[in-house]
Amino acid sequence: MTEADFDTVTTIAAERSDIGIFLSSTPTGARSKFYQACTDKSMGFTEHFHPSSHNPNWDATMEAQFRAQLTPSGYTHEIEADFGAQDTGVFNKDKVDKAMSFQNYYYNPLSVIQLDRVKREAENGTPTPINRVYDGIPVPRNTFRTMGVDWDKYQASSSILIMDYDIESKKFIVVKRIEVPKAEYSYDAAVNLIVELNEIYNPTWIYCDRGSGEYQIERLHIIGEERPETGLKHKVKGWQFANKIDVMDPVTKEMVKEPMKPFMVNQLIMAFEREQLILSPFDEILHKQLIDYEVVRQQQNGAPIFTSENEHFVDTLGLAFLAFVLEFTELTNTIKKVRYEMAMSSIQKRPGQKRVETSLRQAAASETSFSQQIEAAHHDGDLPGDRPTWTQVRNSSRRRSNGRGWGSRTGGATRTVW
């Protein structure tokens, strides 16, 4: 049954109130409509969960046999009736769920269903979740705060996400997620919203997708220049997902170019695996986009192509975390930055002294060679007629002589022979 068939059946069932819909299937790694009906409570379905262990005849022998016959994922789907990890998913579902269990808080107003959930959990002794909804009130300052922005020209909405580094837990926590509906969206409205959020949250860095945000980024830089107190001129940075990023190889210490989008996604994967991220357990949209995020195909060079539907908050989460990776490398500890250092030491000789001494030795050797040439050509036992009238001298010796002697003509004005 395809998703289009599901839409058709749902439309028919809506014609009469006495028509109901029942879905029955074995869970798989695919994130299909059946998965959505089981996990998205807003769709209005009631889940009936019955793994094979609910069978009255189930025993340890049956369990051992099935574990031996089935693959680990097959046992998870067929026997435990669990969806498990997504077949082509990028992020580990268990790690994403773990990230949503560290803190019980919310940063957007709760829906009616969520309020009812909080009420029922409170009756069972669960502490009330922490309210982190800030409506125009400046948030306490945190130097380690970033913002990711994904402006999408053609899809339904544009997305903004703000992330903090919590010093106590030593984890990165999402503190705000904003979705701007297409009907309310315009370039100028997007710029004004960023300026407003900057005043409330005052992030140190704002990383934006340049895909459809060239105008907005330029406007933010202009506003930052006109109003230096906002810091927008320096904190706003634009990135093209199709471009490459310079990263230092940890082994060779050389700068290499990495594809921007895969590098950003890999940083998020490592953060989830290291359990460094904290997500709100009430943010079902972000959770669903992370679980549904997958590799659609691979290019000839091996670079992955990720899904382009319902993934905007994954991009904003990636941009916000990328700002930590590139600007606060000590916190993420995933890459190394080039470090420029200067060392000073004392020497016994003056700078340039060695070069001077070498020049003097060469000059002395040249003078010695010239003297030896003269002595070889003239001997004390030579008769006056035996001595040569001409002597070869160095071309570099351009000095006139007024006296008489070898190498000069007698009488009148004299000149040196070269």
Answer yes or no: are the C-beta atoms of 192 and 131 closer than 8 Å: no
> Predicted confidence band at 407 (pLDDT cuts at 50, 70, 90)?
very low
Percentage of residues in the chain having pLDDT higher than 70: 74
Crossing angle between the packed helical segments 214-226 and 187-201, to the nearest 10 degrees: 50
Percentage of residues in the chain having pLDDT higher than 90: 27
Tens of pLDDT, residue by residue over 44-64, are 888 888 888 898 998 988 888
Place of tokens 């004392």: 346
Lowest mean pLDDT among 6-15, 259-268, 351-360: 351-360
Structure confidence at residue 27 (pLDDT): 80
> Predicted confidence band at 1 (pLDDT cuts at 50, 70, 90)?
low
Instruction: Check pLDDT > 50 for residue 409.
Output: no
Instruction: List the structure tokens of 63.
Output: 């369990």
**C-alpha–C-alpha distance, residues 383 and 380, integer Å:** 9
What does 310-339 look like in DSSP terms, one character per residue?
S-HHHHHHHHHHHHHHHH-HHHH-SS----
Domains of the chain and CATH, by start = 88-332 (3.30.420.240)
Structure confidence at residue 410 (pLDDT): 46
Structure confidence at residue 418 (pLDDT): 43
Structure confidence at residue 413 (pLDDT): 46
Structure confidence at residue 99 (pLDDT): 94
- How many residues are recorded in the chain? 418
Lowest mean pLDDT among 23-27, 102-106, 202-206, 266-270: 23-27
Considering only residues 206 and 371, tell me which one the structure prediction assigns the higher pLDDT.
206
Structure confidence at residue 137 (pLDDT): 80
Structure confidence at residue 15 (pLDDT): 82
**C-alpha–C-alpha distance, residues 347 and 315, integer Å:** 55
Buried b / exposed e across 246-263, counting CB within 10 Å, b at 16+? ebeeeeeeeeeeebbbbb
Long-range contacts of 70-79 (CB under 8 A, 24+ apart): 73/29, 77/26, 77/27, 77/28, 77/29, 78/26, 78/52, 79/51, 79/52, 79/53
**Residue (of 335, 164, 177) closest to 264 by Cα position:** 335
**Residue (of 285, 307, 318, 311) closest to 207 by Cα position:** 318
Evaluated on CA atoms 55, 58, 64, 66, the torsion sign reads negative
Contacts of 74 (CB under 8 A, 6+ apart): none
What average pLDDT does the segment 172-189 reach? 80
Lowest mean pLDDT among 95-99, 182-186, 309-313: 182-186
**CA 182, 204, 320: angle at the middle one, nearest 5?**
50
Considering only residues 83 and 260, tell me which one the structure prediction assigns the higher pLDDT.
260
Mean pLDDT of the chain: 79
Q: Tell me the residue ranges of DSSP E strands in 185-254.
A: 205-209, 236-239, 244-248
Query: Where on the phi/psi map is residue 253: left (φ > 0), alpha (ψ -120 to 50), or beta?
Result: left
**C-alpha–C-alpha distance, residues 297 and 293, integer Å:** 12
Structure confidence at residue 185 (pLDDT): 60
